Structure 1
Amino acid sequence: MDYQSPIPSKVTGVILWSRNLECSVDMYNKLLQLSPEQQERFGHLHIFHLPSGLDIMIDSNGMDTVPVPDKASPLFFMPATEIDKAASFVQELGFEIIYGGIHRNDAVSFFNMRDPDFNVITVCQNHR
C-alpha cells in the first residue's frame, strides 16, 4: 500500500502549556532573550519566534484546572556552549534541573530542566 501524507515532514513550532502565562512568558523571555519584535501575544497564547524559524508557543487556555504531572519526557532540546554555566543560568531563572543533574560523557553533556508547569527541555553541549 502506498500512502501519501497530507502533512509535510517539518516541525514549525512547539507548544508549552502554562497555568500562569505572565510568569511563563517572563521565564522564557529571560531564557530566550528575544526582542519584542520576535514575539506576539494573542490573548492566552504567547509566541516566541526563534531565529531558526521555529516558534515556541506558550498556551494558557484552559490550563488552570489541569494538574501538573509528576514526570514528563523532554519536549525538545536546546544547545549550550558551556553546560555548567547553562545549568547555573537556568536555575537563576527559576527552572529546576531534574532527572539526576548534569550527565557527562565523551560526546555530550546534558541536563533536563523543567518549568513550574513541568514542561521538560533538554539542554545539551556537544563535545565533538
Structure 2
Amino acid sequence: MEKPVLNQVRGVFIPVSNIENARDWYCRLLGLPTDGEIFFGHIYVLPMEGGTNIVLDSKMYSVESIHNVPVIQLASDDIEKSYKLLQAQHVEIITEIQNNHWFNIKDPYGNVLMVCE
C-alpha cells in the first residue's frame, strides 16, 4: 500500500519570540553548540538524537501559540540529577518530580516541556 504520508515525526515546532535568545537557551538546556544556521531569519533547528528535531520559529510566535501543556518530552537518564541541574541553572520548574519519573519546566517564552526518565 502506498503511503501518502510517512509514519515518522521529522520535527516539533515551538513558537518563540526571539530566535537568537531561544537558540541559546535551548542549546544550553540540551548541551548543544549554537553554531547552526538561522534559516530565513526566524527558524532554528535543534538536531536531536533519534531523528526528531525541535524547530524553533519566531515567525509563528503569539500569545495564543504558546504551548500550555507539554509539547515535548525530553529524556533524562537520572531525573533527580536533571531536576537539580535545571534548578541550579534557574530554569523555571513548574512541577515537582512526579511518581519519581517526570517533571515540567517552562522555556522563557512560556512553553511547557516535560523532562522524563
Same fold (TM over 0.5): yes
Amino acid in structure 2 at the alignment position of 1:53: G
SS in 2 for 1:81: coil
TM-score (norm 1): 0.75
Q: Displacement of 1:92 after TM fit?
A: 3.7
Aligned twin of 1:80: 76
Distance 2:54 2:45 in 1: 6
Aligned twin of 1:119: 111
Aligned twin of 1:67: 63
Distance 1:55 1:69 in 2: 19
**RMSD (CA atoms):** 2.5
Runs ≥4 in structure 1, deviation > 6 angstroms? 68-71
What percentage of residue pairs aligned between the two structures are identical? Answer: 31
Distance 2:5 2:93 in 1: 35
The answer for unaligned runs of 5 or more in structure 2 is: none
Aligned length: 116
Structure number having the greater strand percentage: 1
Distance 2:77 2:34 in 1: 25
Higher Rg: 1
The answer for unaligned runs of 5 or more in structure 1 is: none
Distance 2:59 2:66 in 1: 21
Match of 1:50 among 48, 53, 77: 48
